[in-house]
Amino acid sequence: MSRDYFFNPRVHVEILERLTSSSSPEHVLEELNKFKSKYKLNKDDELWMAIDLDRWHQRNLSSVATQCSQKGYYLAVSNPCFEVWLLLHLRDLSSYSVDQIEKFLQNSNRDLEIEIRNILGSYNKSNPDTSKFLPHVHKAKKRARRLDLNPEDRWPNSIGTRVYLLVEKIIYY
C-alpha cells in the first residue's frame, strides 16, 4: 500500500528486525552499528534511528544522540511516543485542550492509542492499518513541523515528533 503512495526509486527503506524485545536507544544504536558494518553503504546512504522519548531518560538519549551525531546517523525522536505521529495524520493537536495534551504526555502511548482507536474505531499497535494513515501523510508532516518549535534541539521538548524529517527524506529525496 505505501509503495502506491510514495514510490521513489532512489529510496530503499530497510527496517531492522530485532531478535530481542529490547528497544532501548543504546540497543537500537548497536543494531544500526551492526547493520552499517555488515553492508557496504554509499556515502549518500543515511541511517536513521526512530525512537520514543517516553520510556528513556534524557541522559540516556543524550548520550545516544551524541554518538549518532558522531557517526552521521539521523534521529527521529517522538515525544512522548510514535503514536503522536499517527495521531497527527488524523487530527491537529490544536483541537485538544492543554489538559488533554498534558494527559497525552503523562500517559504517553496508552492515551494516544485510545484516542487513535476512538477516531478510527480500531487500532492495532503491532499491525496498524496503514491505509488509514498514508492518505494523510502530508497533513501529518505539516502538523509535526508546526509543533517543532525548536528544530535546532536534538528532539522535541514538548509534544511532537521528528518523524516528519525522515518522511521528507523518503518522499522528496
pLDDT at 1 over 60: no
User: Domain boundaries in the chain?
Assistant: 2-172
3-state secondary structure of 66: helix
Residues 125-156 have pLDDT tens digits of 889 999 999 999 999 999 999 999 999 998 99
Average pLDDT, the chain: 87
Q: Which helix (H) or strand (E) covers residue 98, if one does?
A: helix 98-120
**pLDDT interval class at 72 (50, 70, 90):** very high
Which three cell numbers, joined as nine digits, stand for 12?
530503499
**Cβ contacts of 104 within 8 Å, gap of 6 or more:** 80, 84, 96, 111, 112, 115, 159
